[in-house]
Amino acid sequence: MVLNARKTQATLLVLTLLAGAASACSTARASSAPWPTASRRVVVGEVRSVDTRRNLIQVRDQRGGNVVARYDSRTQVIYGPMRSSVSVLDRGDRVRMELRYDRYGAPRAERVEVIRDYARRTPAVVGRVERVSGVVRQVDARRGYFVLDPGRSGNIRVVVPSRLSRDDARRFDRLRRGDRVRVEIRYLGRNEAQLVRFR
C-alpha cells in the first residue's frame, strides 16, 4: 500500500512538471507571435520628409503626431487626375495617405494623394502644356529623360516618350549637359513633365 501511494505521488509530480513546461512554451510562443491580422489606416497631414534611400515617407497628421511609412514600387502617388511618382512629393505638401499594416505592425503606404501643393498653395493641377526654356543639368538616354533648369521653381525632370518625330529624336540624341533648350512639356507633377516637342 505504501509503495503504491509513493508511485502515485511520483506520477502526479511528473505530470505537474510536464504541464508547467507546456504552459511556459505556450506563453513564450504567444509572446513572440506576430500580429494576427493586418489593418488599414488613412492619414491626412503634411509631408515632413521623403527618404528615397530608405524608401520612407514621414507625414505629420492633424493631431501633430508623426507617421513614418515605407513605400515601394506598388505605392500609388496621385497628383491631380494623374498617377505620378514619389519624386513629386515635397516637404509641406498636404496629402491623404492610405496605409496598410503588415502582421508585424509595420505600415506601408499603398496610396498617397496630393491634396494641396505647398509650392503653389493651390490644389494640384497637372496635364497643362507649357513652353519652357532653360539649361540642361542631366541627360539619361538609357532611361529616357533629362533634367531641365528653368531658373525658377526648381528643376524639372522631363520624360521623353518612346514615340517622337525624327527631328525631336535627333535633338534628344544630341542633347548634352549645359545645353540651353526651349521645349513644350506636359506637366505630370510639380517637378515632373513629359516632353511634347523641342522648339
Q: What band does 22 get if pLDDT is binned at 50, 70 and 90?
A: very low
Q: What band does 193 get if pLDDT is binned at 50, 70 and 90?
A: confident
Largest CA distance in the chain: 110
pTM value > 0.85: no
Average pLDDT over residues 28-49: 65
Dist CA 134 CA 152 (whole Å): 9
The percentage of residues in the chain with a pLDDT greater than 90, rounded to a whole number, is: 11
CATH 2.40.50.320 domain locations along the chain: 39-116
Q: What is the pLDDT of residue 35?
A: 42
Q: Which residue has the cell 507571435?
A: 33
Average pLDDT in the chain: 75
Whether the CA torsion 105, 109, 113, 116 is positive or negative: it is positive
| SS3 state at 183 | strand
Average pLDDT over residues 87-94: 80
129-198 CATH fold: OB fold (Dihydrolipoamide Acetyltransferase, E2P) (2.40.50)
CATH class of 39-116: mainly beta
Residue 102 region, left (φ>0) first, then alpha (ψ -120 to 50), else beta?
beta
- Of 20-24, 134-138, 159-163, the least confident: 20-24
35/64: higher pLDDT: 64
Burial of 111: CB neighbours in 10 Å, binned 0-12, 13-18, 19+: middle
Q: What are phi and psi of 157, to 5 degrees?
A: -85, 115
